[in-house]
Structures are given as C-alpha cells and as structure tokens.
Chains A and B, each alone.
Chain A
Amino acid sequence: MPSLSVDVGGVSLRNPIMLAAGILGTTGASLRRAAQAGAGGVVTKSIGIEPRTGHPGPNIVQVECGLLNAMGLPNSGYKDFQEEVDLARKEGVPVVASIFGSSAAEFARIARGLQADAFELNLSCPHAEKYGSELGRYPDLVESVTGAVKANANVPVWVKLTPNTADIVELGRAAEAGGADAVVAINTLKAMAIDIETGYPILGNRFGGLSGQAAKPVAVRCVYELSSNLEIPIVGVGGISSWEDAVEMIMAGACAVQIGTALHKGYDIFKEITDGLSRYLDRKSLTLDDLCGLAGRRL
C-alpha cells in the first residue's frame, strides 16, 4: 500500500484527509469520533475570545447544488474550549484549532491562551460582522494578523482564505509574507436563498456561505492558482465528497484536503476517501508527492 502520510507546514498527518472547520467541531467527543473514523487530522469549530450564541435560525438551507449556512461563529470562548481540544487530542491525530478575532491583537491573545497542535486562522467566514472575510479580504490585514499569531504561537499557523475576492493569490501571498506555514482554501462562497412564498431571505442572517458540490470547481481553481504562486503548502477544501474529488484537489496543488459538507453522509466518508485514494495511487504507481500539483506540471 502506498504511504498516505504527509507533512503540511509542520503538521504531520497519517493521511491527507482532514475534518474541515465548522463541521462536527463543537465538542471534543465529536472531533474524536472523526479521528476514530479515520480522519488524518481534525479542525475545530472557530473559536473566539468570548462565548457567542450565533445567528438566529434558519442557520442552514439545503439548495440544489450544496448547503448554504450562516451559523454566526457560535462558540464557547477559548478558555472553556480548551477541555474540548484536550479531549480531541487523546485520539492521537493533530487537532488544529480554528480561531477568529476582530483584530490582530485578539487573534494573538487566543493563540497565546489556547493549546493545540496548530492554528487555522479564520480570515474567511463570509457571514459574521467584524470577523472572518471582513478582515480577510484585505491583504494588509491578512499579513498583520498572520504575523501577530506567528509571533505569539509556538505551533504551526495555517491561514484559511476567502474566495470572495477578485484575486485569492494576493491574499495567499499576504499570508505567506506574514509567515504562514500553510494556507487553506477555500472558505464558503457568499450566497443567499429566498423563500418564494413570502420573499423572506431564508437564513436568519440573510447572507450565508455556500459549500458542497457548487464550491468544488471554484476551490480547485483557487488551489491551482495558489499552488502556482506560493512556496508554502496548500490545504484544499470545498465540495470534496469522494476519493475522485480528493484526487482532483490534490492534483490542483493541495497536499492535504478537508471534508465538510459531505459529512452529512456520515463519518464513513473518511475511510471511503482514504481507501479510494490509496487504491488509486497503487493503480497509477504514484506517490502522494507525485500527485500533488500534477495539473500544474501539465503545460
């Protein structure tokens, strides 16, 4: 069997199939269950300074081509959340803490106070005022937040980028300039859905982020562009629901991928994808390293 282990910007994964931020990441127990089901690493729900209850519902709408969500960054605050991270880490796979803040100083404070195997900076949530992509669409803020976390963290720092921008490479370069160990692409696409009986926007927050099937071709393009222009590794996320999707994302330049929306099919997805990827590499006599960025070498 080919080896699936990979090092992503200082984080060693037994396989490149991870649990994405915001999915089943509220409790240590559910993160642990993802690890038991075969995830190579898990990312927590985004954690901030203070507890937040999130937006009023509906928080999710299923649309024809994916899921639209506006959770609103609910979380228990980084102090309370430490026990969940500690519990998740007992499974032995890396636990990456997704963190958010409204300023470089807030990000840095969490990075100093929270113990995890790595941080993933949420500079990309499209539906929370003062947070996420409201900072992350400005390259200078991406660079300063990344720099501030790097200066305060003693573990690798990944930066999750928003696709809701004209040029994601510019954001990726800013993360790299700030010292990021890897970038993660993409967060959801800003979107909305309207109830045609009444005209009400369905999401409580009106706007949300589109994930799933529709996001995949956008994510593949973003990962390809980033990988062609950055030196640091790329983690691909967006609409991956099968081993074929994972192969495509890795060919685009991702050295690991994250699974989110597809978890609605159940935890078995991790094993399905790692098994499929393994069989594929075997059949093609390729290593994971050969596969990573293959599309960029086909010119």
Chain B
Amino acid sequence: MRPANAVIHEVRSETKTIRTFCFNLDLDPAPGQYVMLWVRGVDEIPMSFSGKKRITVNAVGDATNALFKLGAGSSVGLRGPLGNGFVLRGKKILLVGGGVGVAPLAFLGEQAKNARIEVTSLIGFRSSDDMIFRSQFQSLGDVVLTTDDGSLGIHGRVATGLKVLDLAEFSQIYLCGPELMMWDIISRAQDHANKIQACINRYFKCALGVCGSCCLDPDGTRVCIEGPVFMADRLMNSEFGKYRRGPSGSKDLCRG
C-alpha cells in the first residue's frame, strides 16, 4: 500500500520529550502492531500505537524531532497497521513497561479491561518527570511504579518491582520497553518465558519482510512481519539483549 494521508487533529504533551499525536484516521490496529510513519521530506520510521488512532513518541532523532514541529492540522503519511500485535490470553494479566514503551501496553490494557480481564501494571521511568500514562494505568487496576532515581515509587529499575509481584498468578505477561530492561525482566522470569509476550524493535526499512535489515540471529526471524511481538522463549537464545544491527547492517552491542 502507499502511505495513507493522516491529519493530526490533536497533539498532547506528555513530558518534555514525549508527545501523543492523535489522527483523524482509524487504521484499526491491534496493540503491539506498528505503523510506518512518514514525516514528509525527512524519513519514515516505525512507531507503535498507543490507541486506535494515536501514537506516543519520544523525540530522539531526525524524524521524531521533525514530527514535534507539526501541530494540529498538519499531516503525515502512515503505512500500516503492520506486524503481529499482542494476543490477550487468560483472565488475569500483567503489563510490564519501561519509559515510552508503556504506550502500547496502555492501549492493550484498555482492551483487556473492556474484555473484563484483570489487569496489573508494573511501569518504570527514569524519574517522575519522565512518567507518562500513570492515571490510565491506575484506571485499569493495581499499579507498581518504579523510578531509577527514586523520585517516585520503588527506587530502582523496572525489574526491581518484580519482588512485590508473584508472576505465577498471571495467565500472561506483556512486555515493552528498552531492550536491556526487557532482557532484564525475561532473564529474571525465565520460568515464565512461555507466557511472556514481548514487543521488540529492530531497524526496519521495508516493513514488508524483504529487505532483511531487521533479521534476528541466529535463525533469521524477520521482526517486521513475524513480530514485533514474540513469545519470550523464542528470544532467549537469540541476539536479543546482546546486540542489534544498525542501518548499515553492522552489529551494535546493546547498552543500558
């Protein structure tokens, strides 16, 4: 498909560097699916949905900074929804998110709540200033909050919050955030890897499964169309958490 034209009808400021862009276009995405967002004249980048018609973006590069210059009434190109999203399983679930990675989990949590599934959330941020969507998660159910600097909630990384939870209680665990944060959770929750769905990212170019830029070692899994959501046990013996490929295809070590 060619990129669809999407008009921005509202921009919400979530933190100093995070904004939510609401579109007039309903692409009917599942939580965990993504869209290729074309900021015209700049670049095209993958972005998760934080709701049916919205994305929540951290300004980190050329395309996202250019997007932040756009206000209501401006438009972007959207190609999607793409990939395989989260699948709701069971009656009691845990959402585990870090930073802007909590955005697709908030979307998933809404759907879970509508399906009368009991939702618990473990969400973590660098500091209270970086926190987003707290009230949304609170409206879904119990929330365990962590901050790296201890400014709010439990002092420490997201994984620190695991100690107040019993993972055996949950039918399914949903994970999204920085790679090392997800790897930290998966490593500590190895016994539950077959019930953890993790939404990961790699360098996407074509988003059609042909160019090969997002392939995982060692089996060549194409993250753009076979993911971006995977069962954690499928990631355990892969490059995930160790290295990832940049735009040239060369390997970069994952760093905190």
Residues of A within 8 A of B (CB): 22-27, 29-33, 45, 51-54, 56-63, 67, 69, 71, 74-77, 80-81, 193, 195, 197-198, 200, 202, 204, 260-261, 263-264, 266
Contacts and interface: CB of A to CB of B under 8 A. Distances in A.
Q: Shortest 6 CB-CB distances between A and B: which pairs?
A: A57-B44, A30-B220, A33-B220, A76-B250, A53-B247, A29-B220
A20 to B, nearest CB: 10
A58, A71, A77: most-surrounded residue (chain B CB, <10 A): A58
Q: For chain B, which range describes its interface: under 10, 10 to 19, 20 to 34, or 35 or more residues?
A: 35 or more
A71 B210 CA distance: 12
B42 interface: yes
A31 B212 CA distance: 9
Contacts of A81: 249
A261 B211 CA distance: 9
9 contacts: A24-B215, A26-B245, A54-B205, A58-B3, A67-B208, A74-B205, A74-B247, A202-B2, A261-B210
A204 B208 contact: no
B169 interface: no
Interface string B22-64: 0000000000000010101111110000000000000000100
Nearest to A63: B2
Interface of B: 1-3, 5, 36, 38, 40-45, 62, 75, 77, 79, 205-213, 215-220, 222, 245-250
B249 A74 contact: yes
Contacts of A26: 211-213, 215, 245, 249
A264 B205 contact: no
B249 A264 contact: no
A56 B42 contact: yes
Contacts of B41: 200
Contacts, number: 127
B248 A57 contact: no
A195 B211 contact: no
Given A26-B212, A29-B216, 11 more contacts: A24-B220, A29-B217, A33-B219, A54-B205, A59-B205, A60-B208, A62-B208, A67-B208, A69-B211, A202-B77, A266-B209
Instruction: Determine the main DSSP class of A at the interface with B.
Output: loop
A264 B212 contact: no
Nearest to A64: B2
Contacts of B205: 54, 57, 59-60, 71, 74
Contact of B217 (A27, A58, A63): A27
A27 B210 contact: no
A206 to B, nearest CB: 11
Given A24-B211, A76-B249, A195 B77 contact: yes
A27, A31, A71, A75: most-surrounded residue (chain B CB, <10 A): A27
Contact of A24 (B1, B2, B212, B248): B212
Contacts of A260: 210
Given A56-B43, A59-B205, A195-B2, A22 B211 contact: yes
Contacts of B219: 29, 33
A69 B206 contact: yes
